[in-house]
Amino acid sequence: MNNTQEIRAQYDADTITVYQAYGKTIALPAIENNQFSHPFSFHRMTWIKPSYLWLMERSNWATKPQQEFILGIKIKRAYWEYALSLGVLTHPDLAIYADGLDWERKFEQAKVHIQWDPERTLRGAKLQVRSIQVGISRHLIEEYNNEWIVAIDDLTPLTKKISQLKKQGKYKEAKRLLPKERVYILPDELQKRIGIK
């Protein structure tokens, strides 16, 4: 890995916004109640991503089945950093783990998985910068739902508007509507733990 990992996010003094995409049966109650409920699964890992454009690539701008609603989930920064402090990378980075076995043991026991994927441009091209996605395991999901979340915003109308401008070739206008993300700086020890060189 080179040193191009960055957490880019929309955040303030207390919260950071992460993104998830769901179908309406999960999304609509979540938007209404500011938390998830059935049929959201509390028994498997859920992935949260602070990069809006990365989720756009993953959900194909909210057009993939069961990803038609884009949620902007504001969570408390203290819990975000707590989650990262528990994180184990999805690959055995030997700058962090003693060897493959050490990584495997830690990965199997991890309550949080950390994965780095190429960040995307508005046009969908891959960047050299890698963007983080964080897997919250079933051991933490109830806590995530009940304690971490401050608000859940429906970003579907915004997403559709940006997507429409893209289709019309109006990239300048589309870019102005994107969430304002900037680099989220972590303490050195936490950066090392999650593979930020």
Considering the entire predicted model, what is its pTM?
A: 0.94
Assess contact for 174 and 53: CB atoms under 8 A: no
DSSP 126-175: EEEEEEEEEEEPTTTHHHIIIIIEEEEEE-HHHHHHHHHHHHTT-HHHHH
State the chain's maximal CA–CA distance in angstroms.
Answer: 51
pLDDT tens, position by position, 130-158: 999 999 999 999 999 999 999 999 999 99
| CA-closest candidate to residue 112, choices 133, 80, 83 | 83
Looking at the DSSP assignment, which residues form a beta bridge with residue 183? 8
Q: Which two tokens stand for residue 126?
A: 């891959």
The predicted pLDDT at position 71 comes to 98
| Cα–Cα distance measured from residue 83 to residue 107, given in angstroms and rounded to the nearest whole number | 14
- Per-residue confidence (pLDDT) for residue 1, from 0 to 100: 43
The answer to whether the CB of 55 falls within 8 A of the CB of 21 is: yes
Summarised one tens digit per residue, pLDDT across range 61-73 is: 999 999 999 999 9
Q: Does position 3 have pLDDT exceeding 80, yes or no?
A: no
Cα–Cα distance measured from residue 141 to residue 159, given in angstroms and rounded to the nearest whole number: 26
